[in-house]
Amino acid sequence: MIELYQVSKTVQSGAERLTILRELDLKIPDGQFVAVVGPSGSGKSTLLGLVAGLDAPTKGRIHIDGEEITRMGEDALARLRGRKLGFVFQSFHLIPSMTALENVLAPLEIAGRRDARERARRLLEDVELTERAHHYPSQLSGGEQQRVAVARAFANEPSILLADEPTGNLDSRNGRHVFDLMVGLNRRHGTTLVLVTHDAELAARADRRISLRDGQVVADETSDENVREASEELEEAARP
C-alpha cells in the first residue's frame, strides 16, 4: 500500500516560491492499477518521484507498506527501491554499452540472484525479444527499447511499478504493446501499477483514474469492475 499524508512540494524558482504539489492525501492499495492524468506541469512526474523516494516532499509523509520513506536515509531508500520498486520512464534509460540481455541482467546480478541469467532470458521472452537479446539499445526500435525497460523494471518482481508516460515516445501500435505488457504483469503478479499517461483510452483501462491540476487532485474515480471488463472486451473486439 502506498500512502501519502498532506504531501506538499514547493521549490524556489528565482525570487518566487513555486508550489508543485499541494497537501495531497492519497492511498493506493496493493495490486491496484492507477492512471495519473492531468495537463503538462500539473505535478505528475513530481508525484512519482516522491513515491519512488527519488525526491523528498517539503511537507507531509509518505509510507510504503507501512514504512515511512520520508524518514529514511539514502541507503535504506536505495534498498527499498531495489526490493519493491520498478520504474519505466518516457525515455527508455537503458545503458547504451550493454545489450538487451545485459540491461535486464544487471538488476538481477545486483540483487545476487543465482538464477539471474535464466531469469533475464525468460523476461526477454515475456516481452517477445528473445531474438534481440544480443542487440544494443541503438540497434533496437523505440518500442523494443521500451520493452527491454519493462523487462528490466520487472526483473526483481517489484510489488510496485511506477511508469511515467512510458508510451509517450512510441507510436500507437508499439505503445499499445508496451501498455498491454505492463497491464498483463499487473494482473498476473498483482503488481501495483501507477501509470502517468496522456492517453485517455489507456487511462480508461485502469482500475482508477487520479486527475491532477496545479498540484492538486481534482478527480479520483474508481472503475466499476464490470464496466471496465466490458469496455476491455469492446476494445478487444474493435482491434484490427
CB 233, min distance to ligand ADP, A: 31
Q: Which residues have C-beta within 8 Å of that of residue 201, sequence separation ≥ 6? A: 235
First to last CA, the chain: 37
> Which residue type occupies 236?
E
Can you tell me whether residue 14 is helix, strand or coil? coil
Among residues 52, 47, 37, the alpha carbon closest in space to that of 165 is found at 37
Q: What is the footprint of ligand ADP within residues 46-65 (CB under 6 A)?
A: 46
CB 72 within 8 A of CB 80: yes
**CA of 23: how far to CAs of 10, 13, 31, in Å?**
11, 20, 25
42 binding Mg ion? (CB under 5 A)? no
The label of the residue with cell 506541469 reads: 41
20 binding ligand ADP? (CB under 6 A)? yes
CB atoms < 10 A from the CB of 69, how many?
A: 21
Binding part of the chain for ligand ADP, among 40-48, 92-100, 134-142, 223-231 by CB under 6 A, reads 40-48
CB 68, min distance to ligand ADP, A: 22
Q: Is 60 left (phi over 0), alpha (psi -120 to 50) or beta?
A: left
The label of the residue with cell 466490458 reads: 230
Toward ligand ADP, which CB reaches closer, 44 or 119?
A: 44
Toward Mg ion, which CB reaches closer, 45 or 186?
A: 45
CB 50, min distance to Mg ion, A: 13
Query: What is the C-alpha separation between 183 and 130, in angstroms, rounded?
Result: 20
Among 42, 45, 145, 146, binds Mg ion (CB under 5 A): 45
Q: What is the footprint of ligand ADP within residues 127-186 (CB under 6 A)?
A: none
Toward Mg ion, which CB reaches closer, 144 or 165?
A: 165
Among 7, 32, 37, 45, binds ligand ADP (CB under 6 A): 45
Q: What is the footprint of Mg ion within residues 157-216 (CB under 5 A)?
A: none
110 binding ligand ADP? (CB under 6 A)? no
CB 45, min distance to Mg ion, A: 3
Which spans of this chain sit near Mg ion (rule: CB under 5 A)?
A: 44-45
Binding site for ligand ADP (CB under 6 A): 11, 13, 18, 20, 38, 40-46
